[in-house]
Amino acid sequence: MIHKGKRLFLIAMVFAMLWLALFGQYLAPNDPYETNLAMTLHKPVAQYPFGTDQLGRCIFSRLLAGVRISVFASVTVVLIVFVIGTCIGIFAGFLGGKVDVFLMRITVLVQAFPAFVLAIAIAGMIGPGLKNAILSMVLIYWTTYARLGRSLVLQVKSQNYVKAAQLCGAGKVAIIFRYILPNMIDALVVTAALDIGTVIIQLASLSFLGLGAQPPVIEWGSMINASRQYMQVAPWYVFFPSLILFVIVVLHNKMADYLNEGLEEGKVI
Amino acid sequence: MSNIFIKRTIALIATLLAITFLTFVVSYLSPGDPAEIKLSKTGMPPSPEVIEETRKAMGLDRPLPVQYFSWLKGILKGDMGVSHRTGQNVSAVLGKAFPKTLTIALSTVLLTTLIAIPIALLCVRYTDSLFDRVIQSTTYMFVSMPSFIVGLVLLYVLAVRLHWFSVTPGQGLKGYVMPVSVLVLSMSSWYIRQMRTIFSNQWSMDYVAGLIAKGISKRRVLHRHVLKNSLVPIITLLGNSFATLMVGATIVENIFSVPGIGHVAIEAVLNRDYPVIQGFVLWTAIIYILINFLIDRTYSVIDPRIRLRKGETL
């Protein structure tokens, strides 16, 4: 059981992050794109709290501008796979028969491979870029929700209240939306919350390898990639983006752990 | 020998074919003309006629099914085509990268096993002790940290600060120390957490209470019984990790410039070198299917219950 104070703290942090994602760029002390060739790779000073990069751009401002990309891209991926995967899972589980076999074959085929390798292969074949990185993550992660959704549907479907609804003449659509979906959504939401941290890491990793966001888009993974050749002269350039990325992922994981515990205790919030 | 075996083999071949076909179609449909990319490497902007000629020479003007089948026919003969970029044979490129990746994968999995199992056992034996809590929070940290950050931190501390290694890749065995350390740090953290859960589940079972009631020491129960009963899930996890590493520890190979499979794949992807990408995907598929097959075999070796159950169904 998570302590109440800790719970409030976590909720506050998640809201703070969302707020930063929405308005972070307006807090930036400097223009994240503005170069200052007199101050390249400068150590942190009052004007540039986190120092500057190889073109004299403010690292702090760039990190703030990057929250939007990193957080929104990951949330987008998870939202899309959540909807698509759950729909496929419900179809497969509810309809059964050949549809089920076919959909599950595809799921197993996709899941047979390590997600990151598939993401590299797909991003590689359709070309590097943030949109394509998102697309490749979507193509991989829907399987989790399809399988989980399907198994949950099968569990719920055999419950007496669903049979009762069928006997009362409820239509298929009504049964899915009014009786099945509400009874399975919790587990799926927790999975989605857990996935956000993973997706942030994987998107940043793709960008780090040069397969995700391309300049001038500001993304943490590609910032860290650009920074590593200046590691000897400007360690702060590597340090701050890495730290922020790490903190965001830990926050997400903690939040997901909390949701998970709540689910196990039978209530989410 | 049974229906199951035949069915599995057919499913296996179908899977492989589906993968080759998908890879091929996606590469075919993707934007960017390999002929143009190959020519632009020379530095001169090519004329449309030259591009057309190169396309013909590379066989890119033929219809999709023809290209696919000629590619497939080559693969059956062990020929995966030549790299659009360097003109090297794809099988040769992958073959050259293979020993490096194998070294990384083997040492990582071995070290992770040697580190994670004892620590996880200790965590279960002294649950909620200071040791357990320290391990829990340390591993939580490493699990939440992208491996490229672990890599960069290590590079900074060991190479830039302490000068134990050079920042540029080392040759010979020394070049593997840092990449393997990064992987072992991340992987053993994850494994300690997984194994702790697996062991704790076993630990709360009735047979453990029974053994302890009989006066057998906790240590012996853990090492003899709990560990043995946990082997199947652990081997499954380790097998999967090994397979994942075999298709490229992409991030660390990239950071520490180890020319392994993952490095080859990224180079190919950034240069739109389709034959190499296709070779890589095929390689992944084969490695995965082979390793999963082997894991499946080991189940019945280590667990007589599975052996007997299989005996009944076959």
State how far the Cα of B105 lies from the Cα of B293, in Å rounded to an integer: 18
The reply to whether residue B147 touches residue A205, judged by beta carbons under 8 angstroms, is yes
The verdict on B200 and B294 lying in the same domain is yes
The verdict on B72 and B97 lying in the same domain is no
pLDDT of B31 reads: 63
Nearest chain A residue to B248 by CA distance is A117
Q: How many residues does chain B have?
A: 314
The verdict on B40 and B151 lying in the same domain is no
3-state helix, strand, coil in chain A (%, to 5): 75, 0, 25
B227 lies in some domain: yes
If we measure between CA atoms, which residue out of B204, B185, B200, B206 comes closest to residue B120?
Answer: B200
A49 lies in some domain: no
Question: Who's near B177: CB < 8 A, 6+ residues apart?
Answer: B165, B170
Cis, bond preceding A216 (omega within 30 deg of 0): yes
Compute how many other C-beta atoms are within 10 angstroms of the C-beta atom of residue A43.
Answer: 13
A125 lies in some domain: yes
Of the partner residues B148, B281, B289, the one whose CB lies closest to the CB of residue A205: B148
A82 lies in some domain: yes
Of the partner residues A109, A126, A211, the one whose CB lies closest to the CB of residue B15: A109
Number of domains making up chain B: 2
The verdict on B138 and B13 lying in the same domain is no
Contact pairs from chain A to chain B, CB under 8 Å: 114
Range of the domain at A192: 4-25+57-265
Range of the domain at B280: 92-303
pLDDT of B161 reads: 82
The answer to whether B303 and B114 have CB atoms below 8 angstroms apart is: no
Minimum distance, in Å, between the CA of residue A218 and any CA atom of chain B: 18
The reply to whether residue B288 touches residue A235, judged by beta carbons under 8 angstroms, is no
pLDDT of A87 reads: 92
**pLDDT per residue of chain A (269 residues) written in tens, 0 to 9:** 456 777 777 778 778 877 877 777 777 787 888 777 777 777 788 778 888 888 888 888 888 888 888 888 888 999 999 999 999 999 898 888 888 988 888 888 787 777 787 788 777 777 788 888 899 889 889 999 999 999 999 888 888 888 888 888 888 888 888 888 888 888 888 888 888 888 988 889 888 888 888 878 888 888 888 888 888 888 888 889 899 889 888 888 888 888 777 776 655 44
Question: Who's near A143: CB < 8 A, 6+ residues apart?
Answer: A85, A107, A110, A111
State how far the Cα of B75 lies from the Cα of B196, in Å rounded to an integer: 44
Single residue among B76, B107, B133 that ends a domain in this structure: B76
A251 lies in some domain: yes
Residues of B in contact with A264 (CB under 8 A): none
The verdict on B217 and B258 lying in the same domain is yes
The verdict on B35 and B175 lying in the same domain is no
Following DSSP, what letter does each residue of B44-94 receive, concatenated? SPPPHHHHHHHHHHHTTTS-HHHHHHHHHHHHHTT---B-TTT--BHHHHH
Query: Which residues 148-207 of A have a C-beta within 8 angstroms of B?
Result: 197, 201, 204-205
Single residue among B18, B47, B76 that ends a domain in this structure: B76
State how far the Cα of A134 lies from the Cα of A149, in Å rounded to an integer: 22
The verdict on B100 and B205 lying in the same domain is yes
A41 lies in some domain: no
Nearest chain B residue to A210 by CA distance is B270
**pLDDT per residue of chain B (314 residues) written in tens, 0 to 9:** 466 667 777 877 877 787 778 777 777 776 666 677 666 666 666 777 777 777 777 777 778 788 888 878 888 887 877 787 787 888 888 889 989 999 999 999 999 999 999 999 999 999 899 999 999 999 999 988 888 899 888 888 888 888 887 766 666 777 888 899 999 999 999 999 999 999 999 998 999 999 999 999 988 999 889 998 898 889 888 988 888 888 768 888 888 888 889 889 888 888 878 888 888 888 888 888 788 878 877 877 777 777 766 554 43
The answer to whether B291 and B284 have CB atoms below 8 angstroms apart is: no
pLDDT of B312 reads: 45
B308 lies in some domain: no
Of the partner residues B146, B240, B277, the one whose CB lies closest to the CB of residue A205: B146
The reply to whether residue A211 touches residue B270, judged by beta carbons under 8 angstroms, is yes
A32 lies in some domain: no
The verdict on B70 and B116 lying in the same domain is no
| Structure letter (DSSP) for residue A141 | H
The verdict on B113 and B182 lying in the same domain is yes
B240 lies in some domain: yes
The verdict on B31 and B137 lying in the same domain is no
pLDDT of A268 reads: 43
pLDDT of B42 reads: 64
If we measure between CA atoms, which residue out of B108, B134, B142 comes closest to residue B248?
Answer: B108
pLDDT of B167 reads: 66
Q: What residues are paired with A52 via a beta bridge?
A: A58
pLDDT of B106 reads: 93
B87 lies in some domain: no
The answer to whether A34 and A15 have CB atoms below 8 angstroms apart is: no
B245 lies in some domain: yes
Number of domains making up chain A: 1
Residue with token string 């039978």 = A266
The verdict on B196 and B99 lying in the same domain is yes
Query: Which residues 84-113 of A have a C-beta within 8 angstroms of B?
Result: 109, 112-113
State how far the Cα of A69 lies from the Cα of A220, in Å rounded to an integer: 9
Q: Please indicate if any CB of chain B lies within 8 Å of the CB of A128.
A: yes
* Averaged pLDDT score across all residues of chain A: 83
pLDDT of B119 reads: 95
Single residue among B76, B103, B135 that ends a domain in this structure: B76
State how far the Cα of A248 lies from the Cα of A56, in Å rounded to an integer: 25
The reply to whether residue A205 touches residue B30, judged by beta carbons under 8 angstroms, is no
Question: Who's near B67: CB < 8 A, 6+ residues apart?
Answer: B24, B28, B59, B60
CA triplet B233, B239, B245: central angle to 5 degrees? 140
State how far the Cα of A262 lies from the Cα of B259, in Å rounded to an integer: 46
3-state helix, strand, coil in chain B (%, to 5): 80, 0, 20
Q: b/e per residue, B20-34, with b = 16+ CB within 10 A?
A: beebbebbeebeeeb
B86 lies in some domain: no
Residues of A in contact with B289 (CB under 8 A): 112
Nearest chain B residue to A123 by CA distance is B269
The verdict on B100 and B53 lying in the same domain is no
Side chain identity at B290, as an amino acid letter? L
The reply to whether residue B251 touches residue A197, judged by beta carbons under 8 angstroms, is no
If we measure between CA atoms, which residue out of A183, A152, A178, A169 comes closest to residue A90?
Answer: A152
- CATH for A66: 1.10.3720.10
